[in-house]
Amino acid sequence: MKVLIIDRQQIKELLPMRACMDVLANTFRAYSRGESVQPLRTMMKVPGSGGILAPMPGYDGASKALAGKLITVFHNESETKFDSHQGLVVLFSAKHGNPLAIMDAIEITAIRTAAASGVATETLARKEAATLAILGSGVQARSHFTAMTEARNIQSVRIWSQTSKNAQKLAEELSDLSSTDITVSNDVQTAVDNAHIVCTVTTAAEPILEGAWLSPGAHINAVGSSMAKRRELDSEAVVNSKLYVDSRESATNEAGDFLIPLSEGAVSHDHILGEIGEVLEGGADGRQSSDEITLFKSLGMAVEDVAAAQYIYSQAKEKGGGVWVDM
């Protein structure tokens, strides 16, 4: 039995942001139609480390693909050479069950997470949105810049990070890659002032973004928090927004940005207006006016990894990428 091994650099080459966004739009539609399968992820805390180990299996009804991601999250990247997220994605044949490919999960996660926000931004943000605020300076900040410039004609970007040195480094890096005007903000309020699109991609456990700072018509991609007791947005930001999610089941079990305002009585379950797949399918209304604030709460779904892995595998076979290993 031969299995294709695909490394991080090859994934970056085989999964461009535009292609991933197109793949995930179909994945979101299939998920909301009930054609896909993914259990809630299990997170095992690793004693003595503060890290977690999480298995994420899934079946994507759009690509009819089967895969599982096994990932760790250790927030010690400042002390080590490793990214916070590490892991592998294993693609299986949905017909016979045999493994087809083993892939680096870091790059898949980086691209597909931002691509999901890109799909949401294309669906919910104002067409003329041109000013972007990125809160965070890590891997997702970089990939979200790529996704947002794919989704809208971004003219200016403001970056804020809890570590100003990291924000400056990111601004310089992105400026070398793009002619977009990119600046660093000293505080979150300045960064989001009159911003048309806001991406929160931090490791914050407590709110960094207040609803009072958001301008009418803004669109928010809330990405950084994926646990029930952690959030990046305060309750006012959620209350004042039209809320959309990738998965209702995941949001009502894991999204602290929603669950904490819910526990306070600030919102009800009806505050979730739809999954992004339902909006794409026409089963839920999206933005209705230029003054509405829209919010996409992203938790990341296993079916996103499945669909991305299937696309990478097909591209690798077509272009001769990866290394075949006899197992």
| 31, 141: one domain | no
CATH number (domain holding residue 313) = 3.30.1780.10
Q: What is the CATH number of the domain that holds 273?
A: 3.40.50.720
Q: Which residue has the tokens 């997220």?
A: 85
pLDDT value, residue 77: 64
> Do residues 57 and 104 share a domain?
yes
Any idea what DSSP says for residue 233? Answer: B
Same structural domain, 73 and 158? no
84 and 151 in a single domain? The answer is no
Mean of pLDDT over the chain: 96
Same domain, 197 and 97: no
Same-domain check for residues 237 and 292: yes
The range of the structural domain enclosing residue 91 comes to: 2-109+303-326
Residue 231: pLDDT band by 50, 70, 90 thresholds?
A: very high
Task: Fill in the amino acid letter for 116.
Answer: A
Residues 101 and 240 in one domain: no
In a domain, 230, yes or no: yes
Q: In the structure, what pLDDT confidence band is assigned to residue 74 with cuts at 50, 70 and 90? A: confident
Q: What is the mean pLDDT of residues 266-291?
A: 97
Pairing verdict, β 272-275 and 294-297: unpaired
Q: Does 134 share its domain with 95?
A: no
Verdict on whether the full-model pTM lies above 0.85: yes
Rounded Cα gap, residues 121 and 287, in angstroms: 11
Whether residue 61 sits in one domain with residue 45: yes
Sort strands 85-92 and 272-275 into parallel, antiparallel or unpaired.
unpaired
Looking at the predicted structure, is the pLDDT value of residue 79 above 80? no
Residue 129 lies in a domain: yes
Same domain membership, residue 146 and residue 74 = no
pLDDT in tens, 186-207: 999 999 999 999 999 999 999 9
CA distance 147 to 151: 6
**Domain assignment of residue 99, yes or no:** yes
Q: Within a 10 A sphere around the Cβ of 199, how many other Cβ atoms?
A: 30
Count how many domains the chain has. 2
**Pair 166, 103 in one domain:** no
Statement to judge: residues 103 and 133 lie in one domain = no
115: in domain: no
Residue whose C-alpha is closest to residue 225's, from 166, 298, 163: 298
Rounded to whole angstroms, how far apart are CA atoms 157 and 197? 10
